[in-house]
């Protein structure tokens, strides 16, 4: 069963998102604090990270830079699921791409079903080119 690390500050949002993803067959670990999320990732070895970019203690970009500095996690898929609108994300797009953000979803317009499809997609094995 693939494992998701969900980094989300709001408990209620995290509860419903976790419940939904679990019903779809995923194991989900939730952490609100990015520091604790790193430690949890170290312990539980997630297959994908779903990350809000606006967090409490450190922001999501800072978390990502730290996360990517670990050799084991340089290529681990990360999905941004956040309250920043496409207009606000625009200036950050280059940096997010270089940090290997596989997909970006805007919370107000993304259903949990869509989020789930995105997780399915990033976890699909990549075709090898001969």
Partner 1 sequence: MKKQGGREVKEFALERALLSALSDDLALPLLQIKTALDLLEQDSRQSTKKSRTHVERLRFSADSGLQLIEAYRLVLRPTPSTTLPLEPIAIGSVLQDVAHRLSPYAKHYGATLEVDIKGNIIPALAHKASLSTALQCLGVSIIRAQAAGGTPAKDYRILLGAHRASGHAVVTGVFSNMHGVSDRVLRTARDLAGRARQPLTDVPQGATAGVLIADLLCSAMWHPLRAAAHRNLHGLATNVPVSKQLQFV
Partner 2 sequence: MKQFNTEAIILTRTNYGEADRIMNFLTPDHGKVSAIAKGVRKSKSKLAGGIELFSVSNLGIIVGRSNINTITSSRLSRHYGNIVKDLERTTIGYELSHLLNKATEAAPEAAYFALLKQAFEALDDKELDPHLVALWFNMQLLKLAGRTPNLHSDVSGIKLAVSKSYAFQMEQMRFTPQGSREGPFTANHIKFLRLGFRAAHPRLLHRVQDGPHLAEHTQPLIQTMLASFVRI
Q: What is the rounded distance in angstroms from the CA atom of residue 5 to the CA atom of residue 52? A: 11
Dig out the tokens for 73 from the structure.
Answer: 């996690």
Torsion sign (Cα): 13, 64, 109, 102: negative
- Among partner 1, partner 2, none, the one that 71 touches (CB under a kind-dependent 5 to 8 A) is partner 2
Using CB under 8 A as the criterion, what x/- string covers residues 46-85 for binding partner 2? -------xx---xxxxxx-xx--xxx------------x-
Per-residue string for binding with partner 2, 78-117, x by CB under 8 A? ------x------xx-xx--x-------------------
Choose the one of partner 2, partner 1, none that binds residue 108, judging by a C-beta under 5 to 8 angstroms depending on kind.
partner 1
Query: Closest distance between partner 1 and the C-beta of residue 99, in Å?
Result: 24
100 φψ region: left (φ > 0), alpha (ψ -120 to 50), beta (else): left
62 binds partner 1 (CB under 8 A): no
CA dihedral (78, 8, 93, 58) positive or negative: negative
Site string for partner 1, 2-31 (x = CB under 8 A): --------x-xx--xx-xx--x--------
Task: Pick from 35, 111, 117, 121 the residue near partner 1 by CB under 8 A.
Answer: 111
Rg, Å, the chain Cα set = 14
CA distances from 92 to 48, 65, 69, 98, 130 (A): 21, 14, 19, 10, 34
């Amino acid at each position: 069963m693939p494992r998701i690390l969900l980094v989300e500050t709001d408990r209620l949002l995290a509860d419903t998102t976790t419940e939904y993803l679990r019903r779809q067959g995923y194991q989900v670990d939730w952490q609100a604090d990015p520091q604790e999320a790193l430690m949890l990732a170290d312990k539980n070895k997630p297959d994908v990270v779903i990350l809000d970019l606006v967090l409490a203690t450190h922001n999501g970009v800072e978390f990502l830079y730290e996360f990517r500095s670990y050799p084991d996690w340089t290529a681990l898929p990360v999905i941004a699921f956040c309250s920043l609108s496409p207009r606000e994300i625009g200036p950050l797009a280059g940096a997010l791409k270089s940090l290997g953000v596989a997909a970006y979803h805007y919370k107000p317009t993304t259903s949990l079903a869509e989020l789930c499809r995105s997780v399915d997609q990033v976890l699909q094995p990549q075709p090898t080119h001969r």
